Structure 1
Amino acid sequence: MAGYDDRDGFIWMDGELVNWRDAKVHFLTHALHYASAVFEGERCYNGKIFKSTEHSERLIRSGKLLDMDIPYTVEQINAAKAEVIKANGLTDCYIRAIAFRGAGEEMGVAALGNPVRLGIAVWSWGAYYGDAKFKGAKLDISKWKRPSPETIPSEAKAAGLYMICTMSKHAAMAKGCSDAMMYDYRGYVAEATGANIFFVKDGEVHTPKADCFLNGITRQTVIGMLKDMNITVHERHILPEEVEGFEQCWLTGTAAEVTPVGEIGPWRFEVGELTKRVATEYEKLVRA
């Protein structure tokens, strides 16, 4: 496909649909220089956005954590997403909504006088990890750690927090891996660069406690599914030396959906029955 800046279609920006190639911002947009941006990644299945309202609500919360009041309501954001999907003639697609400080009166670290803008783009997007969704992803171990919530607004889905994720994934890809697992500032297992992580041992599920990284909407959905399936779920701190003893592993996220993991660094996992079951049940749920 063409680059993301050179496609046919429409992008919703600040209340109106604009031609895809005309969806531009000024060089002095504050977000470009100081990462004053928050975003959401969502998927639409069979014409219905999965958990659209929850994503719109989180977008607004993320903005507030960055001192940005997004000038649209949840209902307006939901309607805008539906509008741009329809304008592009899609039924199954990925949705990227981003709110950011634009160019304005100020061009320094502080920019309370600059307008907060909102854009929404949609496009067809298959499996985030390609065929790893079926045979199991290969993960590197990142040298970068998720920071303490005393140093970043870890509950926000904010653009700046993904800088070390990009660097970690680039390093992983250079080693032939799909992604990287990150530890947190205390040395506990945290997450992948853009997805939460789950492990299985003796029929029970273990997942890192989301106290310094984003508690993903897909993560919460899968935990709910597991409990409905009467599977015990432990949300807890996981030490690196415990990983060797786990039998199965998978990642969750809007882009990743439910993707099995076959290896992380020196550790190997089977794509077991529980992993397959969770992936199948999740697929049924989002298309219900």
Structure 2
Amino acid sequence: MVGAYDDRDGKIWMDGKMLDWRDAKVHVLTHALHYASSVFEGERAYGGKIFLSREHSERLLTSGRLIDMEIPYTVDQIEAAKTEVLAANGFTDAYVRVVAFRGAGEDMGVASSRNPVRMAVAAWEWGAYYGAAKMQGAKLDLSKWKRPSPETIPSAAKAAGLYMICTMSKHAAEAKGCSDAMMLDYRGYVAEATGANIFFVRDGEVHTPLADCFLNGLTRQTVIRMLKERGITVHERHIMPEELEGFQQCWLTGTAAEVTPVGQIGDYRFEVGALTRDIAEAYEKLVRA
């Protein structure tokens, strides 16, 4: 599938109906467009089966509640919609995007309790999120923007508005020839990339930032479990940026990113080592099992 995302062949599930791709539209006064009242999930189907599908659907509902937006669908109904979309488009391996948002209604200010909560499910074929970096190791910039304190945002929600600084950070990184950017948190600790969690290796042990002010990704949780099953020590802790000099390997995790090696962050360089390759290969086998 090629072309702009609003001009493609295919089907999108929207508010309980299957629509032609180009007909899945919203009004310009949709509340989410103006006030970011939107949550979403990014998922991948492998061989016709979405990896951790129910966990994604459950998190969508949780994210909605965290931003005071009750989504009018059950987990089973969301699961059924995703299955319908894959079948309608004839996909077995695909990226699946579920989005719930406050639509246009009687309110057009910050408050929007009288506006309907809508939901859509789309899917498309999507290769490696970082392209060739999936094998060679991604190059990351250091973002000037920091992940905010959980006292200022609902950091456990996968909410659209929380990605604004991620978009800005990634644009700046791409302008420098990088694939992505690593962000610090409001305290100055290493946090994550713009859409993926981050892991480091030192002397055979793994270190990853404590997810206390950013999304604890489902892929992150899966990879931590895989490492522990292999008897590898995993330290979930606060990591200072100057510690990067002492790490030998690095990788990113996320539904879109899967497990992607990192070769460079700013002036720090990392090898695409045996543990990185092993986890990437094991994850690929797991999602296709």
**Structure 1 length-normalised TM:** 1.00
- 1:19-72: per-residue Cα shift (whole Å, max 9, x none)? 000000001000000000000000000000000000000000000011111000
CA distance in 1, matches of 2:120, 2:180: 28
CA distance in 2, matches of 1:220, 1:33: 33
Aligned to 2:154: 153
Aligned to 1:198: 199
CA distance in 1, matches of 2:16, 2:234: 42
CA distance in 2, matches of 1:156, 1:238: 23
CA distance in 1, matches of 2:228, 2:17: 42
**Structure 2 length-normalised TM:** 0.99
User: For 1:5-154, what aligned pairs fall within 5 Å after superposition?
Assistant: 5-154=6-155
CA distance in 2, matches of 1:280, 1:240: 28
Deviation at 1:162, TM superposition (A): 0.2
CA distance in 1, matches of 2:13, 2:102: 16
Aligned to 2:254: 253
Question: Quick one: percent identity of the two aligned structures?
Answer: 78
Deviation at 1:244, TM superposition (A): 0.6
> Which structure 1 residue ranges, 5 or more long, are not aligned?
none
CA distance in 1, matches of 2:182, 2:96: 25
CA distance in 2, matches of 1:96, 1:4: 12
Deviation at 1:2, TM superposition (A): 1.1
CA distance in 2, matches of 1:181, 1:20: 34
| Equivalent residue letter for 1:145 | K
- SS of 1:114's partner is coil
| Equivalent residue letter for 1:171 | A
Deviation at 1:11, TM superposition (A): 0.2
CA distance in 2, matches of 1:215, 1:113: 31
CA distance in 1, matches of 2:192, 2:112: 32
Number of aligned positions between the proteins: 288
CA distance in 1, matches of 2:251, 2:17: 39
Aligned to 1:270: 271
After superposition, the CA RMSD in angstroms is: 0.3
> Which structure 2 residue ranges, 5 or more long, are not aligned?
none
Aligned to 2:284: 283
- 1:218-276: per-residue Cα shift (whole Å, max 9, x none)? 00000000000110000000001111100000000000000000000010000000000
- SS of 2:5's partner is coil
CA distance in 1, matches of 2:157, 2:65: 9
Deviation at 1:183, TM superposition (A): 0.2
CA distance in 2, matches of 1:47, 1:95: 11
Deviation at 1:127, TM superposition (A): 0.0
CA distance in 1, matches of 2:168, 2:111: 27
| Equivalent residue letter for 2:73 | Y
CA distance in 1, matches of 2:119, 2:66: 16
User: For 1:187-226, what aligned pairs fall within 5 Å after superposition?
Assistant: 187-226=188-227
- SS of 2:225's partner is helix
| Equivalent residue letter for 1:130 | G
- SS of 1:4's partner is coil
- SS of 1:63's partner is helix
CA distance in 2, matches of 1:163, 1:137: 22
Aligned to 1:237: 238
